[in-house]
Amino acid sequence: MGLVYSGVLNLERTDGEDRSRNYAVDFLVERTDDDETLYRPSSVATVVGIPQTGDALNLPDEVDLNAFCQPQQRIRRRNTGDPGAQEQWVVSRTFSTPTKRNTQRRCGTTTFDNPLTEPRSVKGGFTKTSEEAQYTSDDPPKPITNSAHEFFKGELLTRRKGQPYIELEANYASINLTLVAGLLESTNVAAMWGLAENTIAFTDFSWEELLYGSCFKYFPVAMRFDISLSTWATVLTDEGTMKLIPGGDKTNPDHFVKATDKAGNERKIWLDGNGSEIVGTDAEPVKLTFQIPPKKNLLLLGIPDPLF
């Protein structure tokens, strides 16, 4: 092919308010053969020496290795004003360091100089939930019971509750889905972010694959952590319709009998944590704690501690 790259014809730089740098470059292509047939733009676009999509700006007049050649280009025949001059073409290309808002899912684009050095994003809020109240907000709390020491039940005792959460967003060079799957729906095994163990639950994880520069892969990741300021253990009142017989062995299920009223009807009772019925007008229910979500080292996710 009788077309050669002859160098840079024009070079212009524009800086955006978001600190992005944009370069408009005109490259000159000249014809070297004597054929009278005119060349087409598709032939000019592939001339050796003209930067292609994804290439960094590396010219004799300007070097910016964080500005990458964008997909769009303009190819036009140049009018020299000389009827005897050889055919000339101008290829216009743009090199940019776009902002995060301009991220694309294809080669030849970038959101910043190096997405792996982009600071992580931290945000949070409160998820509105509801629960049935069994104790007042007094100090100390008082059980919400009737005059027969039975807890009230129903919608009238439902109260709104704000559940704190934290979301982290960061870019990673790779992700370990096996590690993530093993930690998802678990809680912190040790104190973290200034909170006690078993108060932070890893509840959600999302990711996608993006490309920047000359098709380098990176993975924007979003993680969610729900927080219980008390504990993520399940706390239940020790109550039921069975009770331990006097002198019985609490480890032997055969030593338990039905709890009944004077008429022989089955009734629910409070238990003392060892299977025996709690009696007395001043009796208070015993709470049993069950750890359902496993406790694990959430710092294996590569999250910072302290967070703020």
Are 206 and 221 in contact, with CB atoms under 8 Å apart? yes
Give the 3-state secondary structure of 40-83.
Answer: CHHHHCCCCCCCCCCCEEECCCCEEEEEEEEEEEEEEEECCCCC
Phi and psi torsions of 209, nearest 5°: -100, 130
* Dihedral angle sign, alpha carbons of residues 221, 302, 189, 125: negative
Q: How far apart are CA 67 and CA 23, in angstroms?
A: 8
Taking the C-alpha atoms of residue 72 and residue 53, their distance in angstroms, rounded to an integer, is 8
SS3 assignment, position 23: strand
Residue of 172, 260, 166, 184 lying closest to 210 (CA atoms): 172
What pLDDT score does 105 carry?
Answer: 44
Q: How far is CA 58 from the centre of its chain?
A: 35
Query: And the tokens for 195?
Result: 């909170």
Q: Quick one: which H or E segment has residue 217?
A: strand 216-227
User: Against a cut of 0.85, is the pTM above it?
Assistant: no
In this prediction, residue 102 carries a pLDDT of 45
Q: Can you give the pLDDT of all 308 residues of the chain as single tens digits?
A: 689 999 999 999 999 887 789 999 999 999 888 777 788 898 898 899 999 888 889 999 899 988 888 888 999 998 877 776 788 999 999 998 865 544 444 455 444 567 787 888 899 999 988 877 877 878 777 778 778 767 787 777 888 888 999 999 999 999 999 999 999 999 999 999 999 999 999 999 999 998 876 678 899 999 999 999 999 999 888 999 999 999 999 999 999 999 998 889 998 888 999 999 998 767 778 999 999 999 999 999 999 899 87
